Homo-oligomer: A and B are copies of this chain.
Amino acid sequence: MNERQPARRPGGRSARVAAEVHQAVTDLISERGYGNFTVGEVAARAGVADSSIYRRWGSLERLLTDVALTRLNAQSPMPDTGSLAGDLRTYAANVAREITGPDGLAVVRLAVALSNNGPQGLQAGDDLRADRMRQLQSMLDRARERGEHAPDAFGVLDHILAPMYIRVLFGMVPLTPEYIDGLVDRLL
C-alpha cells in the first residue's frame, strides 16, 4: 500500500458545519438548560438552515445524542497503545479532560437528561450507551486477543466512567492523573 496516497480528509464544509452545530447545541445547553431550545434556534446560532440540521440528524433528539456521544467520547478515537492498561489510562484521561473542560458539565448533564425524557429520550440514551459500549468492547477484545485479562465493558462503565461522571456532577474536581490511573489500576 502506498502510504503517500492522500488520506481521505475528515475536514471540509461538512465537518465545519457539524462542529458549528455541535458548539451551538453545547452553548444553548449551558445557557438555557436541556429542553429549552428548538432546532430553529440551534440553526440560527450555527448560521445554517433548519433544513440542513433535519437532513443530517433527522431530529433534535438525534442531534443532542450525537453531541453528547461525541463529547463524552472525548472527540478522539479509542486509543490503541498496545496494552490494556495503556489504552484504559489514555481513554480515561481523554474522557476526564473532556468532562472537566469548559463545556463538560453541560455535556454530562445532557447525557443524563437524554435518559429521562420520555420514550424518545430513552431511545437516544440507549443508542448513546450502545455505541459507547461497542467502542469500549472492541478495545477490550483487542486486549483479550493479545492474551491479556480484560474486564467487560460494564466494569469500565461502573468503575472508571461512573466515578468520574459522578465526581464531575457533584463538583468534586479536579480529577487528577493519580486519581484516574488509580481507577484503572484498581479495575485491572
Residues in chain A within 8 A of chain B (CB atoms) = 105, 109, 111-112, 115-116, 122, 125-126, 129, 157-159, 161-163, 165-167, 169-172, 183, 186
Contact = CB atoms under 8 A, between A and B. Distances in A.
A129 B172 contact: yes
Given A112-B112, A165-B166, A166-B165, A158 B183 contact: yes
A176 to B, nearest CB: 13
Nearest to A158: B163
Nearest to A155: B186
A166 B161 contact: yes
Given A159-B159, A162-B166, A170-B129, A105 B109 contact: no
A115 B171 contact: yes
A171 B109 contact: no
Given A158-B183, A183-B158, A112 B163 contact: no
A126 B166 CA distance: 14
A171 to B, nearest CB: 4
A122 B166 contact: no
Contact of A162 (B111, B126, B165): B165
